[in-house]
Structure formats: structure tokens, C-alpha cells
Chains A and B, each alone.
Chain A
Amino acid sequence: MLPDSLSDNPTAKALADLATTGKFEFGELTIEVAPANIVAALDRAKNKLGFTRLSTVTGVDRFPAEPRYEVVYHLQSVTDKGRLRLKARVSGENPEIESACPVYRSANWYERETFDFFGIRFLNHPDLKRIMLPEEFEGHPLRKDFPVTGTRY
């Protein structure tokens, strides 16, 4: 359900049936969807609403809240240069979500980065492995329960 303040926003309206909530703050539109609907939402944003560019994918750890992780997608339209933020919350116990790679090929490395730093698994990702840290690294450093000083010292 979208709040009433978004009722005259055409982008929000087009995604209304998939959205769980949304907001318009600092001139930026955010739409939250259930993790199961994320690929459908991205697909509609790309193919129906013209958001042809995926600017970035990242995560936010809301530890100790539950669902713990937010997976955040920033999209941009190349024609009218508008931007859209899509968000899905995944649980801390089993952090996994469908990969956006079939819709946007650029999601590949961004999802690998999010997996590397947060340990969120992207299902059906073509090559899900660490990208920045060495393969044998233990833990996911951008989680809030990972110490800033590292674990080895």
C-alpha cells in the first residue's frame, strides 16, 4: 500500500500493485517491494517505465531490527533522466533474494559486491562469488556486527 502523498506520482502509481510502501523525500522517490516481487518490479521499471540504466545495487544492514537487510537498487531513465530507488527487505537469518541479472546485466558486479560485503545471496546469479575480498576471507565486513578494526587483530 502506497501512502496518499504518492497518489499523483505516475511512477509510483505504475508500481502500486507491487509496492508495500513508498516515500518521496529530498526529491527522490523510493518504492519498497516484497523480496519475491523484486524482479517483477525491476522488469516493469525497465521495460514499461523506461528506467533503462541500473546505477547501482547495494545493501544496508539494519541490525538488530528484523528484517535485517535492505537491498537497494538505484535506477535512472536515459530519456527523461528521472531516478527511482527500489528497495526490498530480507531477513537476517536467511538473507537471499532473486538476482536482477536477467533484467540488468550491470547488476552482476554490484550484486557480487553486495554479497561480498553483506552476505546476501542472490539466487540465479551467474557467478556469485566474492569480488573485492579474497575468497578465503571470513565474514562480511559491512555488517554492523563486524568490527571496524577487523577480526584478525
Chain B
Amino acid sequence: MAIESGVTSALEVEQDYEKHINDPKAHRTMVLNMGPQHPSTHGVLRLLLELDGETILKAAPDIGFLHTGIEKEFEAKTYQQGVTLTDRIDYLAPLSNNLVYCLAGEKLLGLEIPPMAQYMRVMLAEFTRLNSHLVWLATHAIDIGAMSVFLYCFREREEILRIFEMFSGQRMMTSYFRIGGLALEPPRGWQKRVKDFIDVFPSRIDQYEELLTGNSIWMGRTKGVGYISLEDMLDLGVTGPMLRAAGLALDVRKDAPYSGYEKFDFNVPTSTVNDVFGRYQVRLLEMRESTKIIRQALEGMPSGPFQADAPGIVLPDREKMKTQMESLIYHFKIVTEGFRVPAGEVYQTIESPRGEVGCYMVSDGTQKPYRVHWRGPSFGNLQSIPRLIEGTLIADVIAALGSMDFVLGDTDR
């Protein structure tokens, strides 16, 4: 039995199977329904696999189980309210999503962000990268059978989440970046907390490497697995570490620097191995580079305001609001009706842990976005699944899927 392009419902598969099983002359292949609850799909991805023995002949991904209509929701929210929705798209990289949304809005408004807020954004966006890569490494390792790495990674991730909580009051859904700067003034004593973390973190990466890099089981499961050619990846819309593990240094942080990334000294790690192991190495190197960026941000953190000087867009200082009539009016207007954004359209991209996030924002001059389209990196990456796993063995599917590092919330939005 074969997967027809139109067949995705379980019922149709069953009917097809009934027909097929009664045909004695047919070449016996089997269709396996993997997911949407399979642990290695990290969320609710459903894969239909057509198998000949253990070899995958055809794969058909089925997505949409986590669709929550976020793009529609944006149109019903004011610009500032929209920030909270972005957290929930890619829940492992909330601050990256906050950032791209705010940058798009600021581009339309023509806002100048003070250097302190820019540095803080870069620093926290890199923490998000560490956070996301740690979850990836932990779960990827557990999928392949390296149980203990999970506990090591979550030890460090917990500290990162505490840092997020210190800044924003939230561990995951931070909404810490707002159009016009940051939501709150950075808390007292954050420097020590961040410094303590980045002082030990490189040695922790060494620990992960000790556990995995030379481990023969790990190498056996990852080396030479999950190859896909660079041309195919570009043609199928893959971005991020997968592309860099194939030797192409495509990174929005270098190509079109945003939020002051041009002031930081860092490398874009690449590898030419182009398999699961190569992607693992690229991500570990990225974690080391991120630590470098965080250290530079910490040491070079400029002083100054954390929000742009834009009355009417940024909420006024509490003290001013209580003493000045004008500020009170602005406060009332921003809270009740939001601010108007000049008509126009922008496409802002940044480099999230998973690849290129794009936010296409169309404004018609009112307080609510006319249209927000979200280009999630996971959506682009997932499209390459059939190319990635067709012809391989079913056991390698787990490793190949894990190496993509997708988040279904980001795919389905």
C-alpha cells in the first residue's frame, strides 16, 4: 500500500489497507502512523511512514494540531498587546519572538532605541539561545538513549529561567521586550547573577561534551545519519543550525545586524559534516559563542534609559504620571486605546535558535496591526522531512528529527 498524496486521515489509511491486504499480488509495504503523541516528535507532529521492512519509502508529515489562530488574534489586539502572543508561538525562544515583533513595530514607527535597551535585548536573546539549545540537547540525547545528559542540561536551564524570572517576573512567557524598549527597568543585582552563570557555563559545556562527543554509542547513532544536501535545504526553506552544519554561514545576526549585533565580536560556527553529529557540534559551538556575546554585553553595558523617548508610545514614568497632567493623559490614552502606527509594511527577520524568524507586519494607520504574518523557522525546516528521512532506516528517524530542533507551536502558530 502506498501513501497517496491526498491520503492523510486515519480512516482513509485503514480503508486503503483493507483493500490492499486482500490483494495477494501486491508488494507488501506497511504504513506506520507515527505520532501525534510519539515522544520523539516533541509536541504533536504526525508522520505517515510507508515502510518496506525497516526502510522508509515515503514520509508524509501532517501538522496543524497546535494551531491556535495567533495570526488572526494579532489583528484584534493593539500593537503592544500583541507582544504577549509572540511568546506563545515558539515557547522555547520567547524573547527572540518578542524581539522580532518589537523590531518590526519600531521600524514602522521609526523609533530609536537607547543603547542600553539594545544591549539588554542582545544579552537576553542570547540567553534564549542557550535556553533553547539546552532543551534541544537534553531531549535529543534522551531520544537517542543518553539519559543523564538531560539532567545536566536542565540544571543550567533552570538557572537561565531564574534569570528570566528576575528580569521579567516570568520564567517562560516573558514578554520582556516591548515596542519602545524594555518592559521594566533591569532588576538590582542582575550583573552578579549573569556573571556567576557565564563564569561556570563554558565548563558545563565541556561536561556535556565529555558525556557525548567521544561516546561510541552517541557517535554510532549520529554520525552519517540524517544527510540532506545543501541545495535541497535551500530549495526547501531550511534555515538555522541545519544549514550551517552543511557549511553555509547564513546567519541574520551577521547578514543584516539588528539591535546592535554589529558591535559584538562573535563567529558563526559552521561544519561541513552535514549530519546529525555535525548539527550537534554546530549547536554546541553556538552555545560557546553566545556565552561570549553575553560576556561582552555584560562588560560593555551602557548606562542610560531603558526605553525610548517617545511619549504617546512608551508608558510614562510612574512618578511623572502622578505629578504631570500631560503624562497622565498619555498614560490614559496608551492604556485605553493604544498608539497609532503609520501605514506601511515591513518584513523584519532575526536569527532565533532554530533559524530565521520573520515578522511581516502590515499597518493601515490604526492602533491594531492590519496583518501580521509569522515566518517560523520550524515550519520551513519541517518541510524538508520527507527529503531527510526517505530511504533511511526507521531507527534513524528519531535522530534525524531530533537534529532539526523544531517546536510545533512555532510550526502551527
Q: Which residues of A contact B (CB under 8 A)?
A: 25-26, 28, 30, 52-56, 58, 60-61, 72, 74, 78, 81, 83, 85, 104-106, 108-110, 113, 117, 126-127, 129-135, 141-142, 146, 148
Q: Chain B 69-88, CB within 8 Å of chain A: the 1/0 string? A: 10111011000000000000
Q: Which residues of A contact B344 (CB under 8 A)?
A: 25-26
Given A106-B383, A117-B71, A131:B63 Cβ within 8 A:
yes
Q: For residue B69, which residues in chain A have a CB less than 8 angstroms away from its CB?
A: 141
Known contacts A26-B108, A141-B72, A148-B76; A132 and B237 CB within 8 A of each other: no
Q: Which residues of B contact A148 (CB under 8 A)?
A: 72-73, 75-76
Asked if residues B76 and A74 are in contact (CB atoms below 8 Å), the reply is no
Known: A127-B5, A132-B412. A55 touches B375 (CB 8 A): yes
Whether B235 and A131, one on each chain, are in contact in the complex, defined by CB atoms closer than 8 angstroms, is no
- B221 on interface, CB distance cutoff 8 Å: no
Main secondary structure of the interface of B (DSSP, over half): mixed
Besides the contacts A55-B347, A55-B375, what 12 more A-B pairs have beta carbons closer than 8 Å? A58-B373, A60-B370, A61-B371, A74-B375, A78-B248, A81-B255, A105-B236, A106-B236, A109-B237, A127-B6, A132-B63, A134-B64
The answer to whether A109 touches B383, judged by C-beta atoms less than 8 angstroms apart, is yes
Q: Which residues of B contact A (CB under 8 A)?
A: 5-6, 9, 63-64, 67, 69, 71-73, 75-76, 107-108, 234-237, 248, 250, 255-256, 344-347, 349, 356, 358, 360, 362, 370-371, 373, 375, 379-380, 382-383, 412-413
Number of interchain pairs (Cβ within 8 Å): 89
- Please measure, in the bound complex, the distance between the C-alpha atom of A26 and the C-alpha atom of B345, giving whole angstroms: 8
User: Closest approach, in angstroms, between the C-beta of B8 and any C-beta of chain A?
Assistant: 8
B235 to chain A, nearest CB (A): 5
Interchain CA distance A148-B68 in the complex, whole Å: 12
Q: Which of B9, B71, B347, B382 is most buried by chain A, counting CB atoms within 10 A of its CB?
A: B347
**Cβ-defined contact, B64 with A55, below 8 A:** no
Answer whether A53 and B71 are a contact pair too, CB < 8 Å, given A81-B256, A83-B347, A109-B383: no
Complex-state Cα separation, A134 to B107, whole angstroms: 36
Distance in angstroms from A147 CB to nearest chain B CB is 10
Once the chains bind, are A60 and B358 in contact (CB under 8 Å)?
A: no
Quick check: A74 and B347 within 8 Å, CB to CB? yes
Provide the residues of chain A in CB contact with B108, threshold 8 Å.
Answer: 26
Can you name 29 A-B residue pairings with CB atoms under 8 Å?
A26-B107, A26-B346, A28-B346, A55-B347, A55-B358, A56-B360, A58-B360, A58-B373, A60-B362, A60-B371, A61-B371, A72-B373, A78-B234, A85-B345, A85-B347, A105-B235, A106-B235, A106-B237, A106-B380, A106-B383, A109-B237, A127-B5, A127-B6, A132-B67, A132-B413, A133-B67, A135-B9, A141-B69, A142-B71
Q: Which of A25, A54, A81, A85 contacts B237 (CB 8 A)?
A: A54
From known contacts A60-B370, A126-B5, A133-B64, infer whether A52 and B73 are also in contact, taking CB-CB under 8 Å: no
By a CB distance below 8 angstroms, the chain B residues around A141 are 69, 72
In the complex the two chains form, what is the Cα distance from A6 to B71 in whole Å? 32
Q: What separation, in Å, do the CA atoms of A125 and B347 have in the docked complex?
A: 25
- Expressed in whole angstroms, the minimum distance between the Cβ of A74 and any Cβ of chain B is 5
With A106-B383, A108-B383, A126-B5 known as contacts, the answer to whether A28 contacts B236 (CB < 8 A) is: no
Cross-chain contact B362 with A55 (CB below 8 angstroms): no
Indicate if the CB atoms of A53 and B73 lie closer than 8 Å: no
- A130–B62 Cα gap in the complex (Å)? 10
> Which residue of A72, A105, A117, A126 is within 8 Å of B360 (Cβ)?
A72
- Rounded to whole angstroms, the CA-CA distance of A56 and B379 in the bound complex is 10
Cα(A28)–Cα(B67), bound, Å: 30
In the docked arrangement, what's the CA distance between A148 and B5, Å?
Answer: 32
Chain A residues contacting B73 (CB-CB under 8 Å) are: 148
Contact B234 A56 (CB under 8 A): no
Alpha-carbon separation in the docked complex, A153 to B371 (Å): 24
Shortest CB distance B313–A (Å): 17
Shortest CB distance B179–A (Å): 15
State in angstroms the CA–CA spacing of A148 and B108 once bound together. 25
Which A residues are CB-close (under 8 A) to B5?
126-127
> In the assembled complex, which residues on chain A have CB atoms less than 8 Å from the CB atom of B72?
141-142, 146, 148
Instruction: Report B14 CB to chain A, min CB distance, Å.
Output: 16
Residues B250 and A78 in contact, CB atoms below 8 Å apart: yes
Q: How far is the CA of A26 from the CA of B69 in the complex (A)?
A: 28
Chain A hits for B67, CB < 8 A: 132-133
Considering the complex, give the chain A residue whose CB is closest to the CB of B73. Answer: A148
User: Nearest-CB distance from A119 to chain B (Å)?
Assistant: 14
B362 touches A109 (CB 8 A): no
Residues of B within 8 A of A130 (CB): 64
Known: A104-B235, A106-B235, A129-B6. A56 touches B375 (CB 8 A): yes
Residues of B within 8 A of A53 (CB): 234, 237
> Which residues does chain B contribute within 8 Å of A83, judged by CB atoms?
347
What is the CB-to-nearest-CB distance from B59 to chain A, in angstroms, rounded to a whole number? 14
- Complex Cα distance, B235 from A143, in Å, reads 29
User: In the complex, A54 Cα to B233 Cα: how many Å?
Assistant: 11
Q: Which B residues touch A108, using CB under 8 A?
A: 383
A89 CB to nearest B CB, Å: 14
